[in-house]
Amino acid sequence: MKGLIQRVSEASVTVDGREIASIGKGLLLLLGVERDDSPSEAKELCRKILSYRVFPDEQGRMNVNVQDAGGSILVVPQFTLAADTSSGTRPGFSLAAAPELANSLYHDFLNITRNQMGRERVEGGEFGADMKVALLNDGPVTFLLEVSRKH
């Protein structure tokens, strides 16, 4: 499971011309689910993201996590993060989870995050939709976080 986090001043998702989710200060998370992922990877990635220190402290150093910064999270399912780009000029998607598994783990991730942060601080995109994602990247600060599968 992969999560591309971006520290944002604001972010939103629009589907069919209608805004379905938005946050102010916080993290925009693009979530990629791979075929061997399970709920344990969702839980571990959530723990990692919520504790990752990307917000400035009093000295301006990245030393504060999203929860302590009072931020929110907008989680957007992004199957292209699971692409194999190791060869050629066209991505392969053999590593990506099947839609049913990816949708289930996306919702698991949302529920875990909402349980940790509170429902009012976690928004989500729409799985399988053609989403328009808008953001004002703060920094810019962007990190790719991954958790390994446990066999």
Residues marked as catalytic: 78-80
Looking at the DSSP assignment, which residues form a beta bridge with residue 145?
3
If we measure between CA atoms, which residue out of 138, 105, 90 comes closest to residue 36? 105
> Residues 75, 127: contact at Cβ < 8 Å?
no
If we measure between CA atoms, which residue out of 101, 82, 76 comes closest to residue 146? 82
What one-character DSSP code corresponds to residue 92? B
Residue 106, token pair as written in the block: 């996306």
Taking the C-alpha atoms of residue 119 and residue 115, their distance in angstroms, rounded to an integer, is 7
Peptide bond into 140 cis (omega under 30): yes
